[in-house]
Amino acid sequence: MKITVIGAGYVGLVTAACFADLGNEVLCVEKVSSKLEKLCRGISPIYEPGLTEMLQKNIKEGRIHFTDRIEEGVSFADTIFLCVGTPQGDDGKADLSQVEEASRQIAQHMTDYKLIIEKSTVPVNTHQWVKKTVKRYIKNPDIPFDVASNPEFLREGSAIYDFMNPDRIVVGVESERAKKIMEELYRPFTEKGFPLLITTPAAAELIKHASNSFLAMKISYINMIADLCEKVGADINEVADGMGYDKRIGRAFLNAGIGYGGSCFHPEELAFYKQGRWSRSVNL
């Protein structure tokens, strides 16, 4: 399949490289010229085990290309991944200006059907807002399009492995056409037995936040138990092991320590789980 990926950061570059390695033709759009210049030479601007090798192999075999021209990206493929940043804004909310800019640029250059896929971590119901943005800027209102949600769960440091070996793939779609494209795209994964969960876009968007919050809650919870252990003279590792053998609880994310952080955390979640002792030790 042909795929366009907008934004060559952690998520976009790993998505682009992995889909190319699976045999797709990928065009990656990156607006920062210093990054683009490196990428065109097969140098990854970030360090991720295996990424440079994967990039160089797929550049050599002609499956991945880079550009800063979004119009080229829009005409290249019907399937367009939005992998732009959604940092915390000054008001504490997710800053969606990069999502808005990319959606507007896609709309302005669309001449036929496009499936726009949110891979960025966005507030629930952002797909509705993306749809409105596209409708506002599209030149011909008769051109059909879909917006889907396909949240990413990779961890920095094991991004390629995580992308290629997902616990699950979550896809939120609203049309049969979008569903078929996503099923086709992820066939190499489903053929290997990785679960593909098809939901509505709102559910997919929420699954990302609900999963992150739940993991943060586990870390916060075990840290509170660690405080209690100090008071009563118990060993937190013994307590965590004892809890973790219970299959309903599980041992993962029950390591007391300095907390969690990461680009996918929005302040409401942080405030709610402030017992997590904020740090960047566990990137969610």
Show which residues are catalytic. 264
| Tokens 């992998």 sit on residue | 83
Q: How many angstroms separate the CA atoms of 23 and 195, rounded?
A: 20
**Quick check: 9 binds ligand NAD (CB under 6 A)?**
yes
Q: Is the CB of 87 or the CB of 242 nearer to ligand NAD? A: 87
Q: How many angstroms separate the CA atoms of 218 and 199, rounded?
A: 25
Binding residue (CB under 6 A) for ligand NAD from 37, 71, 156, 268: 156
Mark residue 92 as left, alpha or beta (left: phi above 0; alpha: psi -120 to 50; beta: remaining): left
Q: How many angstroms separate the CA atoms of 261 and 278, rounded?
A: 6
**Quick check: 71 binds ligand NAD (CB under 6 A)?**
no
Q: Is the CB of 93 or the CB of 180 nearer to ligand NAD? A: 93
Q: Which of residues 110-129 bind ligand NAD (CB under 6 A)?
A: 120-121
Binding residue (CB under 6 A) for ligand NAD from 5, 6, 148, 207: 6
**Quick check: 171 binds ligand NAD (CB under 6 A)?**
no
**Quick check: 11 binds ligand NAD (CB under 6 A)?**
yes
**Quick check: 95 binds ligand NAD (CB under 6 A)?**
no
Instruction: Find the part of the chain contacting ligand NAD (CB under 6 A) among 3-11, 128-136, 238-246, 251-259.
Output: 3-11
- Binding site residues, ligand NAD, CB under 6 A: 6-12, 29-32, 35, 70, 83-86, 98, 101-102, 105, 120-121, 152, 154, 156, 263-264, 283
